[in-house]
Chains A and B, each alone.
Chain A
Amino acid sequence: MDEPRQIVDFSRLDFEFSNYIKQNTNSNPFVCFTCRTCSSLCTSGKVNVLNVAKIVRQIAIGLKDDVLRSKEIWTCATCMKCQEFCPQGVNPLDMIYFLQNKAVEAGMPTIPKAYVEMVTSIAKIGLIQPPQEVISVDFDEFDRAELELPELSMPDAEKIKKNLLKTGFRQVIKELD
């Protein structure tokens, strides 16, 4: 990601945060020995948008603000390779999910709009988007009816929304209302 280079300020370390992550996830930042197996396999790492081994180290040394504000954490492709192949069982992906959750909780401006739109749509109709018209290779338009697909059985979205508001999704649903 094209983020301006920043020098790490070691007066801002928050070790409580490192411990908090270890206790609340299935991951352990403290046993990472920086072999970079995760980074070498990482889907997003291959196109230089995510340096997952760096994130693990940042967490281990307590750079809370840096990781919570990072745009990088949102570029994970969730391919799970880091989780599977880390020789130390660190489980970086679980940390990334947790950091994303915490960034939402803290109302960070880095939360991708696409996700906000998806959650808001679920609160409205139960699905991340309404049925779309699609075009064929010959530029003909098709919808479900034209393809003779059965009518969709839609859920009671009001009830779903009520439940979603009890979760961390409330933070983003609110934003668009």
Chain B
Amino acid sequence: MDVALYLGCTIPTQEYAYEVSAREVLPRLGVNLIDLQYAACCGQPLKGLDNLGWLYLASRTIALADQQGAETLLAICNGCHVSICEAKHVLESDDHLRKTIEEMLAEEDLEIKGHVRIRHLLDFLYDDIGPQKIKKALENSQNFNPLVNLKLAAHYGCHIIRPSSIERPDQLDDPSKLEALIEVTGASTAKYPERLECCGAPMLAIVDKESFQIAGNKLIAIQNRGFDGVITVCPFCERMLERQETISRVTGLDVSISSMYYTQLLGLALGIETEKLGLQLNMSSVEIILNKVTR
């Protein structure tokens, strides 16, 4: 299955662990990743500065995918995904804005055709590939390592389940795809009350102390409920939840729990070495998970 991989800004400039593990794991599920060329920012963090500026950047990404003949555009960041999906909705429902954007894109010889399907890692793995096929890939893997000793909490992140006015990878008030994907690895999971809370990352650059408090509140709840770790699918969420040293210092909470990308978790179940999954870059207490899965 060919997909155009769009990494946005944060993953290819800083959150390398997500990129490394996605490139390692997805091909083993029969996915052929073709990098989207000449990609720029999706515009999401700057929506507040100017709506047209945001719409231009998000639409540009759609137009690039169309131009490069992609059938599926895979955005593995929650922010990129919501940005592109909202832009698509605006382009389809507002002729005036669409015309303005078309003129801007024409300057770059780009054009919106609107053919490309937009996917996030979550719905791509759950709906396009499917838990059954992932299970088979695991069982066929020579080094298959069922993660049976782990109890893991799913962290979806806000932008993957909202807004309900457009199609999102999972449900608004009771998503379950990430739990299902965690269970495929052999690990157990449970829906916990704080599950759909925000990680606080969008506030980090504005009011850092308070954003650490938000992340800390969620992490300590997960920890106190007896989970070994938390699994994420967004570079902003993951980066925030990994800053546990700072969170503990600023909030006085004693946070120490594993946090990792779903692609890293799946890689562990496939028996891939930790270095190849970028786990050496992880700033959270990943040893809690690693000690339980090493054979």
Whether A127 pairs with B40 at a CB distance below 8 angstroms is yes
Known A114-B205, A114-B206; contact A169-B53, beta-carbon cutoff 8 A: yes
Known A164-B56, A169-B46; contact A97-B51, beta-carbon cutoff 8 A: yes
Could you tell me the distance between the alpha carbons of A79 and B156 in the complex, rounded to whole angstroms? Answer: 12
Within 8 A of A (CB), among B166-215: 172, 197-198, 200-203, 205-207, 210-211, 213-214
Kindly provide the distance from the CB of A55 to the nearest chain B CB, expressed in whole angstroms. Answer: 14
Size category of the B interface is 35 or more
Q: Does A154 contact B (CB under 8 A)?
A: yes
Q: Interface of chain A, helix or strand or loop or mixed?
A: loop
Within 8 A of A (CB), among B226-282: 278, 280-282
Q: How many CB-defined contacts (below 8 Å) exist between A and B?
A: 181
Could you tell me the distance between the alpha carbons of A77 and B236 in the complex, rounded to whole angstroms? Answer: 12
A84 touches which one: B41, B45, B172 (CB < 8 A)? B172
Tell which of A152, A160, A171 has the most Cβ of chain B within 10 Å. Answer: A160
A112 touches which one: B37, B56, B205, B278 (CB < 8 A)? B205
Give the A interface residue count (CB, 8 A): 64
Q: Does B20 contact A (CB under 8 A)?
A: yes
Binary flags per residue of B1-42, CB closer than 8 Å to A gives 1, else 0: 000000001101110100110010000000000011111110
Nearest neighbor of B285 in chain A, beta-carbon distance: A137
Whether A115 pairs with B45 at a CB distance below 8 angstroms is yes
Kindly provide the distance from the CB of A142 to the nearest chain B CB, expressed in whole angstroms. Answer: 7
Kindly provide the distance from the CB of A155 to the nearest chain B CB, expressed in whole angstroms. Answer: 4
Tell which of B49, B104, B198 has the most Cβ of chain A within 10 Å. Answer: B49
A168 touches which one: B9, B16, B50, B217 (CB < 8 A)? B50
Nearest neighbor of A74 in chain B, beta-carbon distance: B206
Whether A167 pairs with B200 at a CB distance below 8 angstroms is no
Whether A44 pairs with B48 at a CB distance below 8 angstroms is no
Nearest neighbor of A73 in chain B, beta-carbon distance: B48
Binary flags per residue of A62-89, CB closer than 8 Å to B gives 1, else 0: 0000000000001111111101100000
Whether B12 pairs with A144 at a CB distance below 8 angstroms is yes
Report B's interface with A, CB cutoff 8 A: 9-10, 12-14, 16, 19-20, 23, 35-41, 45-53, 56-57, 60, 104, 107-108, 158-159, 162-164, 172, 197-198, 200-203, 205-207, 210-211, 213-214, 217, 278, 280-283
Known: A118-B41, A122-B40, A137-B283. 10 other contacts (CB 8 A): A49-B210, A75-B203, A79-B158, A97-B48, A97-B51, A101-B51, A112-B206, A129-B9, A138-B280, A142-B16
Q: Which 3 A-B pairs have the closest CB atoms?
A: A168-B50, A114-B205, A126-B40
Q: Please, could you name 30 A-B residue pairs with CB atoms under 8 Å apart, sorted by A?
A: A43-B203, A43-B214, A47-B211, A47-B214, A74-B48, A77-B201, A77-B211, A78-B158, A78-B202, A79-B158, A79-B198, A79-B202, A84-B162, A100-B48, A118-B45, A127-B9, A128-B10, A128-B41, A131-B14, A134-B14, A134-B16, A153-B38, A155-B39, A155-B40, A156-B108, A160-B108, A162-B107, A168-B50, A168-B52, A168-B53
